[in-house]
Amino acid sequence: MKSGKARGTGGARGSITKIAGLALSMQLAVLAILLSTIGRADTATAPRESVAAKMEYCRECHGAAGQGYHGFYPIPRLAGQQTQYFENQLHAFAERRRENNIMYNVARSLSPAMIAALAADFRALNPPPLEGASRRPAAAGREIFQNGDPGANVAACAACHGPDAKGTTEFPRLAGQLYPYIVKVLTNFGRERGQSPASPDTSAIMKPVAHSLTRPQIEAVAAYLSSLN
């Protein structure tokens, strides 16, 4: 009788163990569903009300139509920008592959869905370029942009940015970009881009090109690009 009771007790314990294991499996399954839902929500379409509010926030610095802003620190034009480049750069800011403390704090708070929505909305804007650059060196700038300067080992900018300077996928639109912003970026490329050797920003490909340009060439290219619609 005692041995029978022991066997009975062991069987009950085995059943309890199986039930507990089943309950744990169910809990893990529910957790997996919740986690997968969170992942899907992260890539879902952002609510239009939230996108509109974030666009208004961006426009405070980048202009009502994304045309950029002249100031002590020039703020770049985002209107008409290539969506893939736009998204890549926000991720680069958030991951410290591109240095800018203000944009770091902005970018790291954005979900992938919000970044994609902002990229699409700015891409749809096309205001006229802001004035402010001298047109005198624009002809020389056009020559460099379209054909490069083989003698100085400078490639034609149009090869990547397109003959109309409107960019392609990962290569940014430069048409209508602010003159002082282009000058600043080309002058400081090595100090502003590709700051993480382990995961460099894709824009680092421009570093040797920018290094090869003289200051007058940079100003000429900037004058030409800033005048383009």
Number of neighbours of residue 141 by Cβ within 10 angstroms: 26
pLDDT higher than 90, residue 45: no
pLDDT at residue 195 in the model: 63
CB within 8 A of 206, min separation 6: which ones?
189, 193
Averaged pLDDT, 25-39: 39
pLDDT score, position 149: 93
Whether the per-residue pLDDT at 94 is higher than 80: the answer is: yes
Q: What is the pLDDT of residues 175-210, one digit of tens each?
A: 999 999 999 999 988 777 766 667 766 777 888 889
**Which pLDDT band, with edges at 50, 70 and 90, does 34 fall under?**
very low
User: Which distant-in-sequence residues (6+ apart) come within 8 Å of 209 by Cβ?
Assistant: 154, 155
As a whole number of angstroms, the distance between CA 83 and CA 75 comes to 18
Residue 11 has pLDDT above 70, yes or no: no
Domain borders along the chain are 1-44, 48-226
Q: Name which residue leads in pLDDT, 36 or 131.
A: 131
* Average pLDDT value for the chain: 82
pLDDT for the residue 99: 85
Top-level class of domain 48-226: mainly alpha
Token digits of residue 34: 């919740």
Closest alpha carbon to 112 in 35, 44, 38, 37: 44
Cβ-count burial of 20 within 10 angstroms (0-12 exposed, 13-18 middle, 19+ buried)?
Answer: exposed
Q: What is the pLDDT of residue 181?
A: 96
Q: What is the pLDDT of residue 72?
A: 86
Q: Has residue 33 got a pLDDT over 60?
A: no
Residue entry with tokens 């991720």: 91
Model confidence at 43, pLDDT cuts 50, 70, 90, reads: very low
